[in-house]
């Protein structure tokens, strides 16, 4: 609260960034410890979490007031006009402090209290059990074992404690391979396909050095290929663009030339200043200890595949270009599509999808195991492994299964959520939409296969909302070790039980569990199958031309059907009660009144007594006067005495 200078400002206007008439809403702006709240004149409330705020910009003073533009990580953009510049300045400074926390303990999750006791909190965290998930896959088995090599995080701090490796992989081999791989992230099991006996494994790239060879790493990859009794060949899928490898080999040659030149100068006693020489040697050592590629000559029974997914910096720039295009007012359709194309965003989505499709086909068609890696093995590797598993296994297309998938391939394997999402005030160059791209790939799959997923678009959007909200502990921190040190399971709550409590909102009405149980998805990645995700990037822009969701229409129809079914049951219950009373021979006064109406006019109208039969039957187009199809109805209408009114399924039937 010490950062809040002004708690309430009245007569604040909110502009609609896409409105052509510059219409605005006037209301009151409140600042709390966790939220910014705007209540307009219609008493509509807009809540914005401080942690959702990506940037705050105070524009030049105008005649109507001081503009304040807030851009959020969930792609909401709010344009306030504050009457007084002093109030605007106070709010601006307060939001700068409140939206950028210096330490984890100041995040919303550590103060959020949903009124659950410790037992309920613990049950929420125990909802996802990865040991049970690996059992569902069929491991451990005769080919794969649970290793305790990383039980104390001594080999790799960014991996989970429990890791699955080939049965024949000894601890010395694991340790040796970890020293050869970036950040110690050696090859481990991510997903096991029981029917094909093939595996998806993951790791980081090799450290190049000068020899670029590690016997232990070669033995570990051989162990992975031997763990597949069906196909001894395996793929090493490098998710980086292939041109990087070509430049890397050029760099290795340059390093060699530098070594020769420096050595020559040293041996010839040339006058080189010691400080300059030290700098050059340090630079050379850094490059020599840098990151490289597997040498194909050193690995047998292995095929290498490059899939060309760009790094986090390219992705961050691409998203920024996309947001600039989507936020531009008054663009023509052709200019909009041209801008989306030039941003490259959908091309990157396609590259990730292509990589996952290749992985799935390698397992399903060739029965081959696949080892996936990028640079450090926590960004592009997570995207491809999780998406490939989603294509292969229908369990991950359920609500619970999708939670398990995120826990397994993203949270436990050390995707740096806090750095990539900017939870703390850190290096902005580490922020990148890696997980957003994964969600968008899943959304594209739901568009191509509407019956294959138990969840709907709202489920994906809600998860995206909470990777930035810092309201729950699931996505805080950068690895499991860090989360254990923060004691998140003791001090914060898990997101998953809260999503399951609202499961009805996230159900896909088109989902067919029986037909999709054993189905492997084979999406098409031709260009016209990729489109702009409007509900992600414009979900808060209500004045845009509405695009009514088919899912929403079906959900509304389902709700209406449920309501009608309830009314039918109520009517059937009333009918049953009345029949019981009639059979008992004790008709109530109301029942007698309904059976024998006292009003002569009502009696006449009910029996159609004064209505001539010939006039009552209108000629229908295409019929003639000799047509006697309606004679039965005429005879029925001509009866004079009213009998009993009976109700069946809510429809009144009367005989006169």
Active-site residue among 203, 374, 441, 479?
A: 374
Q: What is the mean pLDDT of residues 542-569?
A: 76
Range scoring the smallest mean pLDDT among 40-49, 306-315, 618-627: 618-627
pTM: 0.80
Residue 82 corresponds to which tokens in the numbers above? 């504050």
Q: What distance in Å separates the CA atoms of residue 652 and residue 650, rounded to the nearest whole number?
A: 7
Contact 489, 128 (CB under 8 A): no
Q: What distance in Å separates the CA atoms of residue 235 and residue 372, rounded to the nearest whole number?
A: 8
Residue 470: active-site member: no
- State whether residue 335 is helix, strand or coil: helix
pLDDT surpassing 90 at residue 137: yes
Range scoring the smallest mean pLDDT among 176-190, 200-214, 347-361, 433-447: 200-214
Range scoring the smallest mean pLDDT among 35-39, 260-264, 339-343, 403-407: 260-264
Say what the pLDDT of residue 588 is: 52
Instruction: State pLDDT tens for residues 505-541.
Output: 999 988 987 766 668 999 999 999 999 999 999 988 8
Q: What distance in Å separates the CA atoms of residue 233 and residue 226, rounded to the nearest whole number?
A: 9
Instruction: State pLDDT tens for residues 199-226.
Output: 999 999 998 754 568 999 999 999 999 9
Say what the pLDDT of residue 298 is: 87
Q: What is the mean pLDDT of residues 166-175?
A: 96
Instruction: State pLDDT tens for residues 584-643.
Output: 765 555 544 544 444 444 444 444 444 444 444 333 344 444 444 444 434 444 444 444
Residue keyed to tokens 């103060």:
111
Q: What distance in Å separates the CA atoms of residue 184 and residue 558, rounded to the nearest whole number?
A: 52
3-state per-residue secondary structure call for 420-479: HHCCECCCHHHCCCHHHHHHHHHHHHHHHCCCCCCECHHHHHHHHHHHHHCCCCCCCCCC
pLDDT surpassing 70 at residue 644: no
Q: What is the mean pLDDT of residues 488-517?
A: 90
Q: What distance in Å separates the CA atoms of residue 236 and residue 297, rounded to the nearest whole number?
A: 13
Question: In what helix (H) or strand (E) does residue 324 lie, and over which residues does it extend?
Answer: helix 312-326
Instruction: Please give the torsion angle defined by the CA atoms of residues 612, 618, 623 and 628, in that order, rounded to the nearest 10 degrees.
Output: -30
Q: What distance in Å separates the CA atoms of residue 362 and residue 370, rounded to the nearest whole number?
A: 7
278 — pLDDT class (breaks 50, 70, 90): very low
Range scoring the smallest mean pLDDT among 20-29, 46-55, 252-261: 252-261
Q: Which residue has the higher pLDDT, 513 or 401?
A: 401
Say what the pLDDT of residue 454 is: 95
Range scoring the smallest mean pLDDT among 238-252, 266-280, 465-479: 266-280
Residues 113-117: contacts with CB within 8 Å, 24+ apart?
114/493, 114/498, 116/493
286 — pLDDT class (breaks 50, 70, 90): very low
pLDDT surpassing 80 at residue 254: no
């Amino acid at each position: 609260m010490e950062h809040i200078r002004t708690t309430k400002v009245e007569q604040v206007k909110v502009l609609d960034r896409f409105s052509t008439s510059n219409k605005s809403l006037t209301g009151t702006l409140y600042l709390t410890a966790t939220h910014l709240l705007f209540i307009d004149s219609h008493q509509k409330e807009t809540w914005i979490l401080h942690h959702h705020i990506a940037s705050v910009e105070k524009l030049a003073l105008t005649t109507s007031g001081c503009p304040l533009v807030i851009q959020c990580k969930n792609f909401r953009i709010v344009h306030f006009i504050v009457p007084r510049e002093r109030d605007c300045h106070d709010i601006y400074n307060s939001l700068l402090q409140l939206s950028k926390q210096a330490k984890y303990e100041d995040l919303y999750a550590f103060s959020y209290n949903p009124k659950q006791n410790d037992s309920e909190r613990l049950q929420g965290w125990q909802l996802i059990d990865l040991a049970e998930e690996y059992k569902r896959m069929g491991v451990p088995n005769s080919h794969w074992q649970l290793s305790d090599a990383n039980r104390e995080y001594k080999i790799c701090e960014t991996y989970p404690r429990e890791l699955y490796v080939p049965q024949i992989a000894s601890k010395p081999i694991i340790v040796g391979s970890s020293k050869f791989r970036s950040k110690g992230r050696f090859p481990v099991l991510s997903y096991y396909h029981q029917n094909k006996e093939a595996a998806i494994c993951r790791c980081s790239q090799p450290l190049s050095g000068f020899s670029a060879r590690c016997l232990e790493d070669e033995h570990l990859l051989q162990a992975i290929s031997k763990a597949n009794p069906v196909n001894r060949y395996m793929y090493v899928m490098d998710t980086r663009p292939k041109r990087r490898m070509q430049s890397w080999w050029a760099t290795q040659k340059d390093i060699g030339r530098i070594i020769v030149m420096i050595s020559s100068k040293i041996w010839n006693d040339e006058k080189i200043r010691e400080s300059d020489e030290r700098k050059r040697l340090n630079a050379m050592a850094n490059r020599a200890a840098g990151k490289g590629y597997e040498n194909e000559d050193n690995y047998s029974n292995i095929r290498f595949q490059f899939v060309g997914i760009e790094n986090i910096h390219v992705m961050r720039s691409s998203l920024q270009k996309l947001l600039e295009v989507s936020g531009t007012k008054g663009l023509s359709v052709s200019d909009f599509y041209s801008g989306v194309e030039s941003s490259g965003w959908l091309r990157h989505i396609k590259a990730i999808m292509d990589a996952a499709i290749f992985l799935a086909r390698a397992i399903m068609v060739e029965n081959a195991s696949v080892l996936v890696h990028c640079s450090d093995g926590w960004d592009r590797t997570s995207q491809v492994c999780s998406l490939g598993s989603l294509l292969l296994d229908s369990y991950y297309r359920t609500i619970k299964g999708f939670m398990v998938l995120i826990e397994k391939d993203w949270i436990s394997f050390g995707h740096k959520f806090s750095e990539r999402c900017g939870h703390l005030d850190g290096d902005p160059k580490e922020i990148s939409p890696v997980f957003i791209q994964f969600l968008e790939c899943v959304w594209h799959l739901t568009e191509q296969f509407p019956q294959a997923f138990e969840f709907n678009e709202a489920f994906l959007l809600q998860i995206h909302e909470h990777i930035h909200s810092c309201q729950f502990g699931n996505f805080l921190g950068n690895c499991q070790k860090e989360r254990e040190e923060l004691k998140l399971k003791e001090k914060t709550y898990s997101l998953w039980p809260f999503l399951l409590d609202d499961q009805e909102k996230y159900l896909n009405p088109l989902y067919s569990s029986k037909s999709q149980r054993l189905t492997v998805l084979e999406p098409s990645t031709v260009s016209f199958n990729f489109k702009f995700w409007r509900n992600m990037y414009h979900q808060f822009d209500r004045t845009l031309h509405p695009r009514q969701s088919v899912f929403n229409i079906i959900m509304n129809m389902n709700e209406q059907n449920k309501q009608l079914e309830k009314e039918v049951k109520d009517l059937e219950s009333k009918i049953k009660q009345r029949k019981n009373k009639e059979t008992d021979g004790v008709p109530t006064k109301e029942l007698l009144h309904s059976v024998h109406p006292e009003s002569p006019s009502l009696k006449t109208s009910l029996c159609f007594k004064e209505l001539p039969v010939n006039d009552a039957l209108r000629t229908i187009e295409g019929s003639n006067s000799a047509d006697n199809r309606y004679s039965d109805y005429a005879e029925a209408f001509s009866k004079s005495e009213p009998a009993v009114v009976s109700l069946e399924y809510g429809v009144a039937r009367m005989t006169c």
